[in-house]
Structure 1
């Protein structure tokens, strides 16, 4: 234990003597969490639209007003020339064109199909899908409302109305459908992972580059003691960063903490050991910090893309879903969202925690064995 304490003291002194590293460890994660939480969103904020209204009727004006009143659509261009509207879309001025033909209101009132056309810029497929979904919802609501008015006017007598089913939707876990609530736990996992993977990945390599690894190798320090001394300092820093991020998520973004905070911290401790063990393994198979950074960055990008942060794992191809089985970030993102947003307990997450514990144990043992092979 005395040897490990000496190693830990050495590592912490090296970390805190490097004044340029302290902002990276404690300030940059906060800035990244603030920026990414607002930038990494698929929410539809504002859609510029063009209108081609050849009908100029009460119904067509009501339709356009309904789009504008939703808060998502802004009437950027009103014209009778379809080519002008298409040119505006090609130039990126508008994302949707509403074209209402002549006789739209007449067809509707006389019981015939009333046609209109929505032209959506689908270069960004996810945004186009949201525009189509919102537009369809607005049109369905308007259609139902106007049908009731037409039927009431055309009714010869006033028969007793039968009762109808009133559907009141209620969203669980994220009642206001706030995308930040969904993204912040996942982004926090990514930031903690980057600190653990990159710093531990360059740790042993840095000792080799500055020439102190030979001095450590001739001491009676055992291999596991050396690895523990390299792992624990950044584990502590990662946990501190996680606590700062959780406080910011709770009091800055108002993320609901429905689960047990101790459960989150316990799983985070296991996860950090896993991701840092991977970093130590990278550090033992590379010879320069640049090589370690490249490999760590490559793995980090793959882990993030296959982690379910931006796209659901269930919507990925089968081969990609199989790769997520060995992705520690995918497990921790799911656990964070389940515990914080759903209030999940140990029973719901235990299988994923066991997988993280297994991966961490294997990676740490391989790192120790690999260092034994390469150390001279």
Structure 2
């Protein structure tokens, strides 16, 4: 029986078309949320400082950086490798390593070299964060020069300057496409596999075909499953096309495995298609379903970290973003594409997506009212 239901769904999909329309509430919500959520100024950058010198000058530099509003010192690891683990797990964005003979080199007129290692998965955040940190270090250098008794001369020589070496981790060339393309795949899956189910059941309500289904012995679970399977297949086809275009047009291939992406996309498709069916079950007309779905799409996309870092949003916006399933799948795609993360690295995101999938699909089955 489910075979014929799926065949019916595919035939119906070929006849479906929708034209989203803009109404007053949509630009209002954009104007309210965009100045807060889409903040292009990078703040609250998580910083790990590796102080190998533990001198007076190095501690003053650590305190000066900590006083900045742009950085948040999350840890003071003992070694660079310990700090790098914070970048890999996502608790740090930038590592500053102070060399062992930092104060000694400065006093003897040598130029100490500091290392800035930035997580360039988000090229904008990594580049601006490194620039901010370099500016603070340069300002600290000028302070030390002014404090010198000779005001710029040290034993007949000019006071040294601190050299800085910057490394852009995971995205050496700060290629913005490498940051955006994986997230755009998430947006496409959401739009296609979220919108179409939202218009499905309510379309049958308006056409009158839903009444014919209701008087058959088809159960609610079988009916919902037949509605979802076509969109899962469409989602996989769209994702495969996106992989091909990313490679063909931009030369972008994931650092991780395709199978990991397909596995997580299976769960994510369950989330968005179930969410679409929930809206469809609670909508009386196609117009209502389109308006409601478009409203949620705008909010979910803006609050997913697609364009702007979630850490730069206000605290209340970050709490809202934690309830957004797109946020977790965007993290999955960028982790696999840029950092080569594996299945075990993404277990927290997998658990959250499974909770969303179970919630929305159980809601979809429960909210479908079948009268036999």
* Residue 301 (1) aligns with residue 298 (2): yes
Deviation by residue 1:88-127 (Cα, 9 ceiling, x = unmatched): xxxxxxxxxxxxxxxxxxxxxxxxxxxxxxxxxxxxxx9x
Judge conservation of contact 2:215–2:371 (CA < 8 Å) in 1: no
Work out the CA distance in 2 between the residues paired with 1:17 and 1:285.
22
SS of the residue aligned with 1:268? helix
User: How many angstroms does 1:272 deviate by?
Assistant: 0.6
Q: 1:214 aligns with which of 197, 211, 218?
A: 211
* Deviation digits for residues 25-70 of structure 1 (CA, Å, limit 9, x no counterpart): xxxxxxxxxxxxxxx9x8xxxxxxxxxxxxxxxxxxxxxxxxxxxx
* Counterpart Cα distance in 1 of 2:180 and 2:203: 34
SS of 1:170 mapped into structure 2: strand
Partner of residue 13, structure 1: 11
Do the aligned partners of residues 186 and 19 (structure 1) sit closer, same or farther apart at CA in structure 2, a change above 3 Å counting?
Answer: closer
Aligned residue number for residue 2 of structure 2: 4
Aligned with 2:173 (options 172, 176, 179): 176
Please give the TM-score of this superposition, normalised by the length of structure 1: 0.61
Q: Is 1:268 aligned to residue 265 of structure 2?
A: yes
Q: How far 1:181 sits from its partner (Å)?
A: 1.0
Is residue 192–residue 241 contact of structure 1 (8 Å, CA) maintained in 2? yes
d(CA) in 1 for partners of 2:164 and 2:327? 36
CA distance in 2, matches of 1:339, 1:375: 46
In 1, Cα distance between equivalents of 2:223 and 2:350: 26
Query: What is the root-mean-square deviation in Å for CA atoms of aligned residues?
Result: 3.4
2:73 aligned residue: none
Deviations 1:302-346 (A, max 9, x none): 111110111111111122111122211000001100011100111
- Partner SS for 1:219: coil
Q: How many angstroms does 1:194 deviate by?
A: 0.5
1:3-40 C-alpha deviation (Å, 9 max, x unpaired)? 1111111111222356999xxxxxxxxxxxxxxxxxx9
Deviation at 1:208, TM superposition (A): 0.5
**Structure 2 residue aligned with 1:331:** 328
Greater gyration radius: 1
| Count of residues in Structure 1 that have an aligned counterpart in Structure 2 | 256
SS in 1 for 2:169: coil
2:352 corresponds to which of 340, 351, 355:
355
Q: In the TM superposition, what are the counterparts of 1:210-249 in structure 2 within 5 Å? A: 210-249=207-246
Q: What is the alpha-carbon distance in structure 1 between the residues aligned to residue 16 and residue 192 of structure 2? A: 16
Q: Any idea what SS the aligned residue of 1:303 has?
A: helix
What are the ranges of 5 or more consecutive residues in structure 2 without an aligned counterpart?
Answer: 20-37, 41-123, 143-151
CA distance in 2, matches of 1:348, 1:307: 20
Aligned to 2:186: 189
Structure 1 residue 179: Cα displacement: 1.0
Matched, 1:321 2:318: yes
The alpha-carbon deviation at position 238 of structure 1 amounts to 1.1
Distance 1:278 1:295 in 2: 11
Structural mapping, 1:108-119, within 5 Å:
none
Relative to structure 1, the CA distance from residue 234 to residue 170 in structure 2 (aligned partners, 3 Å threshold; closer, same or farther) is same
For 1:312, the equivalent position in structure 2 comes to 309
- Following superposition, the deviation at residue 234 of structure 1 comes to 1.3
Tell me the SS of whatever aligns to 1:168: strand
Kept in 1, the 8 Å contact 2:201–2:281? The answer is yes
Instruction: Give the SS at the match of 1:252.
Output: helix
Contact 1:250–1:257 under 8 Å retained in 2: no
Tell me the equivalent position of 1:35.
Answer: none
Find the residue that maps to 1:251 and give its secondary structure: helix
Change over 3 Å in CA distance of 1:184–1:239 after alignment to 2: same
Give the corresponding residue for 2:97.
none
C-alpha separation in 1, matches of 2:323 and 2:172: 32
Written as runs of structure 1 = structure 2, the 5 A alignment for 1:1-376 is: 3-16=1-14, 167-372=164-369
